Amino acid sequence: MNLMGNQLRAYALFVLYGKDISLQLEGTIETREGYVRLIPTAGRLGSLPIPSSTLELVVQRVFESPQNRDKFQLPPQVEAIRVENSTLVMSIR
């Protein structure tokens, strides 16, 4: 994971049908109702760019799925998280 300006770049490697596939996502982080969300600005699956409409739909499904929802919940004492000047900034209550 890299922080660039006011954005985050995440990189993951996984195996799909016996092949290593990389996934790269870029976007801004925002906090909504106690949960962290990624607002995607770009994505690549391997060397292929992911169309923005597809990217937004997939990211939305990941963040809103019941099995993932708790993973993105902020602790009660954390009000918000954002990336600012390549630094992760947390606002505490």
* pLDDT tens string 14-29: 888 999 999 999 999 9
Quick one: pLDDT band at residue 58, thresholds 50, 70, 90? confident
Domain region containing 74: 2-92
Report field, pTM of the whole predicted structure over 0.85 = no
Q: Given a cut of 90, is residue 91 above it in pLDDT? A: yes
Integer Cα distance of 65 and 81 in angstroms: 21
Q: Looking at the DSSP assignment, which residues form a beta bridge with residue 89?
A: 82
Quick one: pLDDT band at residue 64, thresholds 50, 70, 90? confident
Starting from the edge strand earliest in sequence, which strands make up the sheet with 35-45, in order? 2-4, 7-16, 19-32, 35-45, 48-49
Number of structural domains the chain divides into: 1
How large is the average pLDDT for residues 62-73? 89
CA-based nearest residue to 35, from 13, 55, 64:
64
